Structure 1
Amino acid sequence: MPALPRRTPLRFSTQTLLLQLAVVALVVLLSSAVHAWLTYERLGREAENQALTLARTVASDPEVRAGVQRISAGTGTPPPAQLLAGPLMAAAEGARTRTGALFVVITDETGLRLAHPDADRLGERVSTDPSEALSGREVTTRNTGTLGPSAGAKVPVFAPGSATVVGEVSVGYSTETIGQSLARDIVPIALTAAGALLAGTLVSFLLRHRLRRLTLGLEPEEISTLVHDQVAVLQGVDDGVVGVAADGRISVFNAAARRMLNQPDLAGTPWAAAPVPARLKALTLPDAAEGDAVEFLAGGRALVASARKALHGREDLGWVVMLRDRTELQELTRQLDAVGTMSTALRAQRHEFANQLHTLAGFMSLGQHRQAREYLARLAATGPLKFPVDQAQLLQDPYLQAFLGAKGVEADERGVTLRLGPETLVRGSVVEPQDVTTVLGNLIDNAVNAAVAGTAGDRWVEVEVLDGPGGDGAAGTLHIIVADSGDGLPADDVFAEGFTSSGRSARAGAGQGLGLALARQLARRRGGDVTVLERGTAGGPGAVFMAVLPGTIAGGDDPAANSERDDDV
């Protein structure tokens, strides 16, 4: 047996529309029914009051009172023919004809009809109970008699000049007349109901359209799944995610973004007023190129950001800004560059070392022992290896020696001489090599770039490094001064993100334009600073930078150690 085709469930918006229409229709029908019932009751009460008024009028007529007393006082009831031609019948029929009542009935004290629209009913007992009226009370009634259903009233007839009840008058109006009146009144009720139903239907369609726009046509199950996925993805990734809605407000600000930008949750904050770097906001400007990456500093971190438009079909949902932390990557890159530079320098010096050994071996094989001893003395005085940095022995720390030697080789390859200034003296050992490498390396790299781009014939970079005591047993302070032969600095803020001394614009994502800003932030985080002592002039000499790095050197203030190192120097 072939499987029956699976029924496609109605969409949530369609279900909502049908439910709204059903509710509107039910409310309109109930309201109309209640309104019609209240109208019917009002017309019935009006008919009862009108019947009561007419019954009182007939019962208070002197001729009616006298005629009823005369018949009641006699023996038996007159024959129908006599009643038909009597004054009571004439009075009752006259009142009924003038008012349009269904009936006007007059009875004696026993309930026998003395006047009735149907002559055949004269002399008979009334079909409804007359006991209340015959006991002296006025009542309104709704019942069905010989002439059909009616709304009426019963009023006692008193003997002239006495409180003795001698009969009663019963007046009734047909409920069919009430129905006819209701039919006339039902037209505006129906029109009102139809208008309310139409308005409700229109509003339901508008709500359905708005609901589909707000939910982007998604079903509740899909929305729930998306919410769970969003929470799992946004809180599970290491990248920062900032969502900017089409109305300019931040809709998403995940934990990674809060950590990178050092901000609380900014969801709901206008993007234009958010306390984030201006370069980050510039990514979402109308003229910004989608997908371009920019680097900037925030909270001591080097961040890379990019932004893309979020679209659903043709609907613009805003922007998605992605943040990536490149701080550790850049630090590792700088360390690898330093290691690679030193490796290159060592490979270059290996040939010189081999040549020195061959020379020494030649002296020995020729028996020229005096020349060999003199050659070894010169090697002992200058060192077996020679970096292109003079007076490297002023740096007692091997890490600084190796790093500056590697930077000297790198500068020499670009035609720049790296030299140590006359005030250089480091007697301690570096205890924070990563921070020192970051600051010193950035300053030297910028100075080399400036020297290469300068117009001076002699290209050089001079570095002075001096250690100082920290006090109270704390690590000492390293003072660094870097000067170059370039054409000086422009009037711009050289510590601003994006500035580069290479003569080329900073390329997004390449790490350029952040060195000086990152060096200053790192130094200030340690309680020091990086400042410009001289901005330099065109044609040289160039700029002079000074860096102060507290807590980065140890042993420099040890008198015994200093004495031994003074002897060595």
Structure 2
Amino acid sequence: MLAVVIAAGAVLAVLQTRRAQDDATRAEVTDTAVAVAQAPSTLAGVRGPDPTAVLQPVTEALRRATGMDFIVVMAPDRTRYTHTDPAQIGKPFSGNIDRALAGQTFTETFTGTLGPSIRAVTPVRDADGRIVALVSAGVTRTHIGEQVREQLPIILVAALGGLLLATGSSLLLRRRLLRQTHGLGPGELRAMYEHHDAVLHSIHEGLLVFDRSGEVAEVVNDRARTLLDLPAGPVRRADLPVSLQRLGAGVVRDEMHVTPDRVLVVNQDVVEHGGRRIGTVLTLRDHTELRDVLGELDSVRGFAESLRAQAHEAANRLHAVVTMVELGRAEEAVNFATAELELSQSLIDRLTGSVAEPAVVALLLGKVERAAECGVELTVTGDTQLDSADPLTPHEMVTLLGNLIDNALDEVGHDEDAWVEVTVRRDDTASSSELFVRVADSGPGMSEELFTRATERGYSTKTDHYGLGLALVRRLVARHGGELRARREPESAVTVRFSQ
């Protein structure tokens, strides 16, 4: 294609050169004819007895000096006084002279005695302005062709140089393109793009491919936009949830991230080629439903552990009662068994009487037993009163309370005299109704800044789930338009309010 373009350019250059040479020739023959016609010697020679003898030597010398092929001085009746070929002297001039006889100077292309030529014809005037003779100067087409041919080598050399430069540039460009496309041709690239595009938009995992800087996503599939609620158009790292913005450009394995609507498992890998980093790949899996199921499983497991602990404790108590009976101390055995039964039954009766949701009652009883195993005193305050979990569902209420109590138990750890206090109640007025949840503990608590960072961090590794519970709580509270706060004075406590 480049050869055809350059060849066409060379042909156009030749044509342009020929046209320019024709224009230059017209100007030269016109200037020469006018100069001869206005020379005083021409007028004197024409008026002399022998115009040829006077004018022929002068016009021939001027013709050789100017490069003209002929300079003809003629009478108004076309009779030649001078000519390059002496045999033509005295014969009539062949060509148009009408406009010159009318006083004009003009040029024309005409085939005369010397062949096709470009000629100019102009009048010779006397002192009174009368036309007494005509002058014609011309250059043959053959002569013009020779002048054009003299310039052909330059044009051909320029065209050849352009062709060599274009060919070398094309080879270098091809080499670079093949290097950048790993040797794949256009057809292979098109097939790869179509296949990859179909795969990227059909997989059920979210996928984002970032450039070398890690800030601009070059590929975002449909699933990723759905999981992260991203609008159409370009995506930057700053457009992602806060926890994903903090990932950086390193390797991440199975981190749990909580967004306002979903729980996501995130992996990130660095992509390298030839030892050079070319970007990062971020994948997202939706574990919202799985997390809910795991939460329910954790609750059931907690209930089972609580029942196991109660069964073990009941066996110990029963063994003590039987031993006391065998020792003949029946009255003391009755008092011991009754006291333990009254203590446990009192808590059950109080919770079932004040809390209408069975799942919440079961959760609180299970957490009391778990706290006891950890050496922590967990109490449910006397003002706990819950007739309905609205606006939360029973499952959401269990998630909220369970995570807050678990975080409190983790906070106090194995401190001496550690305690946790739980309050759940509904405050109803004539104009509004408010669901209030408060979990206090004997731990040092968190500042507002640390608490905000813990709830916004929203990620967890497989071995450390601290922060994930608070992020789940924050997501639940935000979903229902509630208020979540933490304070350290006069005691460490986390409070949640839902107004209706």
TM range (shorter): 0.7 to 0.9
> 2:59 pairs with 95, 109, 123, which one?
95
Give, as a single letter, the amino acid of the residue that structure 2 aligns with 1:284: G
> 1:497 pairs with 454, 473, 483, which one?
454
The answer to whether the 8 Å contact 1:297/1:497 transfers is no
Distance in 2 (CA, whole Å) between partners of 1:164 and 1:322 is: 98
What is aligned with 2:321? none
Distance 1:416 1:22, change over 3 A: farther
What is aligned with 1:298? 259
What is aligned with 2:425? 467
Are residues 1:250 and 2:217 paired? yes
> 1:331 pairs with 286, 292, 315, which one?
292
Distance 1:267 1:215, change over 3 A: farther
- Show the 5 A alignment for 1:519-530: 519-530=473-484
The answer to whether the 8 Å contact 1:105/1:113 transfers is yes
SS in 1 for 2:385: coil
Distance 1:131 1:355, change over 3 A: closer
What is aligned with 1:140? 107
What is aligned with 2:359? 399
Distance in 2 (CA, whole Å) between partners of 1:175 and 1:301 is: 88
Are residues 1:550 and 2:487 paired? no
Distance in 2 (CA, whole Å) between partners of 1:225 and 1:120 is: 81
Distance in 2 (CA, whole Å) between partners of 1:28 and 1:506 is: 68
Distance in 1 (CA, whole Å) between partners of 2:451 and 2:61 is: 113
What is aligned with 2:327? none
Distance in 1 (CA, whole Å) between partners of 2:204 and 2:128 is: 109
Q: Gaps (5+ residues) in structure 2? A: 319-329
Are residues 1:36 and 2:17 paired? yes
- Show the 5 A alignment for 1:13-28: 19=1, 21-22=2-3, 24-26=5-7, 28=9
> 1:420 pairs with 362, 376, 379, which one?
379
Deviations 1:203-232 (A, max 9, x none): 656665666677666544455555555554
Distance 1:316 1:213, change over 3 A: farther
Whose radius of gyration is greater, 1 or 2? Answer: 1
Q: Gaps (5+ residues) in structure 1? A: 1-18, 71-85, 358-370, 537-542, 553-569
Distance 1:301 1:524, change over 3 A: same
- Show the 5 A alignment for 1:52-67: 52-53=33-34, 55-57=36-38, 61-67=42-48
SS in 2 for 1:516: helix
Deviations 1:62-117 (A, max 9, x none): 443235xx6xxxxxxxxxxxxxxx65145213321243143344555654555444
Distance in 2 (CA, whole Å) between partners of 1:232 and 1:257 is: 15
Distance in 1 (CA, whole Å) between partners of 2:42 and 2:479 is: 115
The answer to whether the 8 Å contact 2:63/2:70 transfers is no
The answer to whether the 8 Å contact 1:447/1:461 transfers is no
Between stretches 216-225 and 155-164, larger displacement belongs to: 155-164
TM-superposed deviation, 1:44: 2.0
Between stretches 225-234 and 241-250, larger displacement belongs to: 225-234
Distance 1:59 1:103, change over 3 A: farther
Distance 1:354 1:421, change over 3 A: closer
- Show the 5 A alignment for 1:80-159: 88-100=52-64, 101-107=68-74, 111-126=78-93, 128-129=94-95, 132=98, 135=101, 139-155=106-122
Aligned length: 477
Distance 1:331 1:133, change over 3 A: closer
What is aligned with 1:479? 437
Deviations 1:460-502 (A, max 9, x none): 5444334224446987624343435xx53466724533899xx
What is aligned with 1:368? none
Are residues 1:507 and 2:451 paired? no
SS in 2 for 1:44: helix
Are residues 1:240 and 2:206 paired? yes
Distance in 1 (CA, whole Å) between partners of 2:122 and 2:487 is: 120
TM-superposed deviation, 1:151: 3.1
- Show the 5 A alignment for 1:427-466: 428-430=387-389, 432-454=393-415, 456=416, 461-466=419-424
Are residues 1:319 and 2:280 paired? yes
Distance in 1 (CA, whole Å) between partners of 2:99 and 2:404 is: 120
SS in 2 for 1:292: strand
Give, as a single letter, the amino acid of the residue that structure 2 aligns with 1:246: R
The answer to whether the 8 Å contact 2:205/2:224 transfers is yes
The answer to whether the 8 Å contact 1:304/1:325 transfers is yes
The answer to whether the 8 Å contact 2:267/2:282 transfers is yes
Distance in 1 (CA, whole Å) between partners of 2:423 and 2:470 is: 18
Deviations 1:236-286 (A, max 9, x none): 4443333322254233344444444445346154x3xx143454234333x
Identity %: 25
SS in 2 for 1:515: helix
Distance 1:132 1:544, change over 3 A: closer
Are residues 1:281 and 2:245 paired? yes
Deviations 1:529-548 (A, max 9, x none): 44445479xxxxxx643433
Between stretches 291-300 and 196-205, larger displacement belongs to: 196-205
Distance in 1 (CA, whole Å) between partners of 2:252 and 2:111 is: 88
Are residues 1:342 and 2:297 paired? no
User: Which structure has the highest helix share of the two?
Assistant: 2
The answer to whether the 8 Å contact 2:30/2:137 transfers is no
Give, as a single letter, the amino acid of the residue that structure 1 aligns with 2:244: L
Q: Normalised by the size of structure 2, how large is the TM-score?
A: 0.74
Q: Normalised by the size of structure 1, how large is the TM-score?
A: 0.67
Distance in 2 (CA, whole Å) between partners of 1:146 and 1:154 is: 16
SS in 2 for 1:428: coil
Distance in 1 (CA, whole Å) between partners of 2:426 and 2:71 is: 128
TM-superposed deviation, 1:60: 6.8
The answer to whether the 8 Å contact 1:394/1:426 transfers is no
The answer to whether the 8 Å contact 1:242/1:322 transfers is yes
SS in 1 for 2:218: strand
Between stretches 436-445 and 460-469, larger displacement belongs to: 460-469
Are residues 1:45 and 2:45 paired? no
Deviations 1:440-466 (A, max 9, x none): 111222233344443x2x5x5444334
TM-superposed deviation, 1:336: 0.7
The answer to whether the 8 Å contact 2:427/2:435 transfers is yes
The answer to whether the 8 Å contact 1:24/1:201 transfers is no
Deviations 1:275-301 (A, max 9, x none): 43454234333xx3x243433333254
Distance 1:528 1:131, change over 3 A: closer
The answer to whether the 8 Å contact 1:465/1:480 transfers is yes
